[in-house]
Amino acid sequence: IGIVTIHDGPALPDGEIIAPTVANDPNDPNFHNNFQDPEKFLDAGGYRGRQLQVLADGSYFLNRIFATVELVEKTIIDVGTVGVVVSYNGRHGTDIS
């Protein structure tokens, strides 16, 4: 899996740590094709910083000044075991504990 960090564009809003996915639909006029078209990514409202959208296996032609990719091994959960996902993205919840 490739974790993408964008180095151009507006900063994330206060309180946010992961940039939301933008223009990921090929029918969208601002479709940036997995960050391969920086101008369309920015026109779609993309933010600088670590992105929620990741890159799967494959070849990508990215501008290294615009974006960097950190490769992370996939986690395999064996049958009969449980995996726990901790997400730092989404709506702000209310602590009811």
Per-residue pLDDT at 3: 96
Q: Which domain holds residue 88?
A: 1-92
Burial class of residue 47 in the structure, from the number of CB atoms within 10 Å of its CB (0-12 exposed, 13-18 middle, 19+ buried): buried
d(CA 93, CA 26): 32
Per-residue pLDDT at 79: 96
In a domain, 39, yes or no: yes
In a domain, 41, yes or no: yes
Count up the domains in the chain and report the number: 1
DSSP states of 31-96: --TTTT-HHHHHHTT--SEEEEEEE-SS-----TTTEEEEE-PPP---TT---------SS-----
Looking at the chain, the whole-number percentage of residues with pLDDT higher than 70 is 99
In a domain, 97, yes or no: no
pLDDT beneath 50, residues of the chain: none
In a domain, 19, yes or no: yes
In a domain, 33, yes or no: yes
Per-residue pLDDT at 89: 76
Per-residue pLDDT at 85: 87
Per-residue pLDDT at 8: 96
